[in-house]
């Protein structure tokens, strides 16, 4: 417990992240106003003049939109990271188990995926299957796979050289069994840390995709589209850009701090 308290980075990250999740979950049952209801007469009202954070060009409540946007952003990002992490981890441990030519092929494959930015792959996907939430999830997940594959491969390879693994091999245990019983549990900390950090990145990418119109279609509010829509109103209604911008920045900051804190906390070498 004292170890936790001595790490402000972790604490701040945790608080921001928990608040983000709380707001997102709250939006499922309650928002100050229906987020898609347009009241054109109330358009472009400043914060506190109408609602907590003002209204957009259609007279929709910005605070309500941000709340639902938090849920849309988080749910999309979490799904994407979970898919990416599961596939990437599976690939990583299997390659660590087999090695040889497979390792070469998979790692060069990762390089290729890395070379294509997720925005580009989302645009290509969008051209094939149409843009929308599914496209965004797949595009982000595809980008996550090599991250986790590389991480798990290098971590798993270290585990494979440990004495207890050598002992298990010596006792004739099948490799798949060893992977499940020894390798995965021992690298899980690193995967958890990476999931947290990648979640922040996923939120940023999701916002970028919906900024470009490749995310969830309207009327579902997303932070990225709110930001995109606010551009021409920058002079008149700066809060329209400021609010979703702050939300994105806070969410990413919180998750990154949490990830950093977790890494320090879970580091077995750190015994201070």
Partner 1 sequence: MGRMTFWGSATILRSAAFGLMTAAGLFLTQHGAEAAPKTAITVGMAIEPAGLDPTIAAPVAIGQVTWQNIFEGLTTIDKAGKVQPQLAESWQISEDGLTYTFKLRQGVKFHNGEAFDSSVAKFSIDRARGADSVNPQKRYFASIDTIETPDASTLVLKLKQPAGSLLYWLGWPSSVMVEPKSAADNKTTPIGTGPFKFSGWAKGSKVDLAKNPDYWNQAVSVKLDTAAFRFISDAQAQAAALKAGDVDAFPEFGAPELIKSFEGDKRLATVIGNTELKVVAGMNNTRKPFGDKKVRQALMMAVDRATVVEGAWSGFGTPIGSHYTPNDRGYKDLTGVYSYDPEKAKALLAEAGYPNGFTFTMKAPQMAYAQRTSQVLQAMFAEIGVTMNIETTEFPAKWVADVFKAGDYDMTIVAHAEPMDIDIYARDPYYFNYKNPAFNDVLKKVEATSDPAEQEALYGEAQTILANDAPALYLFVMPKLGVWDARVKGLWENEPIPSNVLTDVHWEE
Measured in degrees and rounded to the nearest 5, phi and psi for residue 45 equal: -85, 145
Q: What is the C-alpha to C-alpha distance for residues 184 and 40, in angstroms, rounded to an integer?
A: 55
Q: In the complex with partner 1, which residue's Cβ is closer, 8 or 218?
A: 218
Q: What angle do CA 201, 75, 59 make, to 5 degrees?
A: 100
Q: What is the C-alpha to C-alpha distance for residues 142 and 132, in angstroms, rounded to an integer?
A: 16
Q: What is the C-alpha to C-alpha distance for residues 261 and 14, in angstroms, rounded to an integer?
A: 9
Written as one string, the DSSP assignment of 170-236 is HTT--HHHHIIIIIHHHHHHHHHHHHHHHHHHHHHHHHHHHHTT-SSPTTS--HHHHHHHHGGGTTT
Q: How far is the CB of 69 from partner 1 (least distance, A)?
A: 15
Q: How far is the CB of 122 from partner 1 (least distance, A)?
A: 14
Q: In the complex with partner 1, which residue's Cβ is closer, 39 or 86?
A: 39
Q: Which of 4, 28, 40, 169 touches partner 1 by CB under 8 A?
A: 40
Residues forming a β-bridge with 61: 55
Q: In the complex with partner 1, which residue's Cβ is closer, 77 or 135?
A: 135
Q: How far is the CB of 75 from partner 1 (least distance, A)?
A: 19
Q: How far is the CB of 233 from partner 1 (least distance, A)?
A: 5
Residues in region 205-224 near partner 1 by CB under 8 A = 213, 217-219
- Interaction between residue 234 and partner 1 (CB under 8 A): yes
Q: What is the C-alpha to C-alpha distance for residues 12 and 17, in angstroms, rounded to an integer?
A: 8
- Interaction between residue 128 and partner 1 (CB under 8 A): no
Query: H-helix or E-strand containing 244?
Result: helix 239-266
- Interaction between residue 124 and partner 1 (CB under 8 A): no
Q: How far is the CB of 54 from partner 1 (least distance, A)?
A: 15
- Interaction between residue 49 and partner 1 (CB under 8 A): no
- Interaction between residue 120 and partner 1 (CB under 8 A): no
Q: How far is the CB of 73 from partner 1 (least distance, A)?
A: 19
Q: Which of 21, 90, 175, 233 touches partner 1 by CB under 8 A?
A: 233
Residue 132 three-state SS: coil
Question: By rule CB under 8 A, what string of x and - marks binding of each residue 131-170 to partner 1?
Answer: x---------------------------------------
Cβ burial, residue 49 (10 Å; 0-12/13-18/19+): exposed
- Interaction between residue 38 and partner 1 (CB under 8 A): yes
Judged by the rule CB under 8 A, the positions of this chain that interact with partner 1 are 36-38, 40, 43, 57-59, 130-131, 213, 217-219, 231-236
């Amino acid at each position: 417990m004292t170890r936790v308290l001595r790490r402000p980075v972790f604490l701040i990250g945790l608080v921001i992240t928990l608040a983000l999740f709380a707001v997102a979950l709250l939006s499922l049952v309650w928002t100050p106003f229906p987020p898609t209801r347009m009241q054109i007469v109330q358009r472009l009202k400043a914060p506190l003049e109408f609602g907590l954070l003002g209204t957009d060009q259609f007279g929709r409540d910005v605070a309500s939109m941000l709340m639902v946007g938090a849920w849309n952003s988080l749910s999309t990002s979490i799904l994407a990271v979970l898919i990416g992490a599961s596939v990437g981890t599976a690939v990583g441990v299997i390659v660590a188990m087999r090695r040889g030519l497979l390792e070469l092929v998979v790692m060069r494959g990762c390089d290729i995926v890395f070379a294509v930015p997720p925005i580009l792959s989302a645009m290509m996907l969008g051209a094939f299957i149409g843009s929308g939430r599914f496209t965004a999830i797949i595009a982000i997940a595809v980008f996550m796979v090599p991250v986790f594959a590389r991480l798990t491969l290098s971590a798993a390879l270290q585990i494979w050289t440990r004495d207890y693994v050598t002992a298990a091999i010596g006792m004739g245990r099948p490799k798949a069994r060893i992977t499940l019983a020894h390798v995965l549990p021992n690298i899980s900390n690193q995967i958890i840390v990476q999931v947290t950090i990648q979640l922040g990145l996923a939120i940023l990418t999701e916002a970028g995709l919906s900024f470009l119109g490749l995310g969830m279609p309207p009327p579902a509010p997303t932070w990225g589209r709110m930001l995109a829509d606010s551009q021409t109103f920058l002079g008149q209604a700066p809060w329209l850009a400021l609010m979703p911008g702050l939300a994105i920045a806070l969410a990413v900051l919180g998750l990154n701090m949490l990830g950093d804190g977790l890494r320090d906390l879970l580091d077995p070498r750190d015994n201070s």
